[in-house]
Structure 1
Amino acid sequence: MAFIVTTGASGRLGGRVAARLADAGVEQRLVSRQAAHLAPLPAGAHVVSADYGDFESVRRALEGASTVLFVSASESADRLDRHRTFVAAARDAGVAHLVYISFFGAAPQATFTLARDHWATEQHIRDSGLPFTFLRDNLYADFLPGMAGDDGVIRGPAGDGRVAAVAQDDIADAAVAVLLDPGAHEGATYDLTGPQALTLHEVAATLSEVTGREVTYHDETLEEAYESRRRYDAPGWQVEAWVSTYLAMAAGELDGVSDAIEALTGHPATTLGELLSRE
């Protein structure tokens, strides 16, 4: 019997999707590198452990699936290679439809370095011949509060650029709509955004108003951005990704509001203020 595979099920997005599919009575297989963290399991689900970079474990995990939600792998220097392995395994397993969680503005010359990897993954999926749908998420609105340091300052070289950040609950709702009727969305690419494109000054003002914590935004120079992140002792590719997120805002590459959330889910996209008020 055909079933849906949800990857990244121990993560924030995959877990949300798995819970919604369970509520809809869907039989699903949950795939995670951290299978032990998935207890208790949603109704109608069972779990398998697989690593995206391990062709055989992924092929076994996906075998027999009608539709697969492909949540991108955790950030790493070899993430694109792991994605390629996953796609090859999905094709070998006979997956009927692949729904890939991509990124807003994915392009080979995107300012945000990881958006280039998402574009390359999309191209690899296209070349594989697998039926697909791409969900290109903007930045997660849920993560915006964490951009402020302990001193309440958001730091980054974003200038007055805007970001149409989207709530993870909205993404999960959209993903489920596609997973439940994949044929209606075959070959489609959806930009998933919030209902507003905000500057980081506006983000800081909203955080202050709703949470009661004073938050401000400091527009760093490029030199300041790299220096302020030096203390994390992170690898170069990761620091580049962090800084280029803000540069992408400055370049206008995270601006632009889509109606895809409402079109797919039937409800309007969540504003940042609404999201914060729920927490």
Structure 2
Amino acid sequence: MKILVTGALGNVGKYVVRELIKKGEKVVAGDIDITKIVNIFGDEVDAVKLDFTDERTFDNGLKGVDRVFLMRPPHLGKPEDMYPFIDSMKFHSIKLVSFLSLMGVEKNTIPPHHKIEKYIEKSGIPYAHIRPGFFMQNLSGIHSEEIKEKNEIFIPAGKSKTSFIDALDIGLSVATLLNESEKYKNTAHTITGPESLDYHQIAEILSEVTGKKITYKKPSFLKYRSYYIKKRGLDKNYVNVTVALYFMTRMGTAKTVTNEFYQLTGKKPRTFREFARENINYFV
């Protein structure tokens, strides 16, 4: 049987696909744009169009599949948006779904991930939730524009610390869970990087790696929200979710460092300095 990777074009999905292929699994790569999937993965995967807002795409995506990597697209802010696909997974008798959740979400009802986890569990589908810390790719992705153009990190996280993890390491963790589905049935795993850093320390590391003087601005929630919606033109629902996450981060929910990545994979997670060096082009 095959494994469906939803969001195969995303930060984590593309690594899940690569790691599953390395493990000898047959992969169905699902996302909005089939052409892009084929351009990236060629004939290594079965490419399918999968749109969580179009239930007509579900059956084709789940055909011949017995395991699923599930991620919530950032623009779908309501947990209920994911329920029809979860119902379809149950109908197709999926034997394990690994949902890309969020560190600490089992105690935090604010992000949509909490209700999605609960809905999966109530559905009776065997699950292996993956609860990573903040992605290092947040800095090389959505926040890189300010780093490149203004030499500043524009994030409302205050003095809080975060145990950043590389999406590549998340991908390997998910692939491990799906590859050993019986072993990890009905489990949850909180994975982090090897250290907890505040954004002043992140700015120092980026300054060292790039040779630029990068500073951390610490905007207020209102200033951050206004800037990303009005200046950057990002979707309001997406920005609201990030505001909620940074609010929780200020309460200390993102600082924990765990050893679960090593327990799952037998490898050490990458440090942020290693990540910055390998992705320097996103910051200069």
TM over 0.5: yes
Change (3 A) 1:180 1:43: farther
Larger displacement relative to structure 2 (238-247 or 186-195): 238-247
How many angstroms does 1:173 deviate by?
A: 0.9
Alignment correspondent of 2:175: 176
Deviations 1:243-276 (A, max 9, x none): 3333222111111011111111111011000111
- With 121-130 and 58-67 compared, the bigger mean Cα shift is at 58-67
Is the 8 Å Cα contact of residues 55 and 85 (structure 2) preserved in structure 1? yes
Task: Report the Cα distance in structure 1 between the residues aligned to 2:223 and 2:44, rounded to whole angstroms.
Answer: 50
Q: 2:282: which partner in 1?
A: none
**Which residue does 1:128 correspond to in 2?**
123
| Residue 48 to residue 225, structure 1, CA distance change in 2 (3 Å) | closer
**SS of aligned partner of 1:36:** helix
Secondary structure of the residue aligned to 1:134 is strand
Q: How does 1:58-137 map to 2 (within 5 A)?
A: 58-78=58-78, 80-107=79-106, 109-110=108-109, 113=110, 116-137=111-132
RMSD: 2.0
Q: How big is the shift at 1:235?
A: 4.9
Match of 1:246 in 2: 246
* C-alpha distance in structure 1 between counterparts of 2:197 and 2:112, whole Å: 25
1:74-126 CA distances to partner (integer Å, 9 max, x unpaired)?
A: 32344x2331111001011121111111111215745xx5xx21010000000
Match for 1:119: what amino acid?
H
SS of the residue corresponding to residue 247 of structure 1 reads: helix
CA contact (8 A) 1:108 1:120 kept: no
Give the Cα separation in 2 of the matches to 1:141 and 1:51: 26
**TM-superposition CA deviations, 1:192-230 (whole Å, max 9, x none):** 211111111111111111122221112223443344444
Deviation at 1:236, TM superposition (A): 4.0
Residue 166 (structure 1) aligns with: 165
Moved more, 210-219 or 176-185: 210-219
Q: CA deviation at 1:28?
A: 1.8
Q: CA deviation at 1:135?
A: 0.3
Moved more, 82-91 or 50-59: 50-59
- C-alpha distance in 2 between matches for 1:74 and 1:156: 17
Question: Is the CA contact 2:128–2:188 (under 8 Å) kept in the aligned structure 1?
Answer: yes
Q: Using the alignment, how far apart are the partners of 2:225 and 2:74 within structure 1?
A: 22
Contact 2:51 2:57 in 1 (8 A): yes
Give, in whole Å, the separation in 2 of the partners of 1:261 and 1:99. Answer: 15
**Which residue does the alignment assign to 1:192?**
191
Establish whether residue 17 from structure 1 lines up as the match of residue 54 from structure 2: no
Residues 1:45 and 1:249: Cα distance change in structure 2 (over 3 Å): same
Q: Quote the Cα distance in structure 2 between the aligned partners of 1:220 and 1:28.
A: 42
Aligned equivalents of 1:95, 1:223: Cα separation in 2: 42
**Identity value in percent:** 21
Letter in 1 for 2:45: A
CA distance in 2, matches of 1:225, 1:119: 24
Question: Using the alignment, how far apart are the partners of 1:227 and 1:27 within structure 2?
Answer: 44
* Worse-superposed segment, 21-30 or 203-212: 21-30
Asked if the contact 1:6–1:18 (Cα under 8 Å) also holds between the matched residues in 2, the reply is yes
Q: 1:107 to 1:26 in 2, by over 3 A?
A: closer
Residue 3 of structure 1 corresponds to 2
Mark the CA change 1:183 to 1:117 in structure 2 (over 3 Å): closer, same or farther. Answer: same
Deviates more, 1:230-239 or 1:63-72: 230-239
Closer, same or farther: CA 5–216 of 1 in aligned 2, 3 Å = same
Q: Secondary structure at the match of 1:39?
A: helix
Given the superposition, is the C-alpha separation of residues 213 and 184 from structure 1 closer, same or farther in structure 2, using an over 3 Å criterion? same
Aligned residues: 273
Query: SS at 2:154's partner residue?
Result: strand
Q: Give the Å deviation of 1:167.
A: 0.1
Gapped regions of structure 1 (runs ≥ 5):
none
| Letter of the 1:96 counterpart | K
- Segments of 5+ residues of structure 2 without an aligned counterpart are 280-284
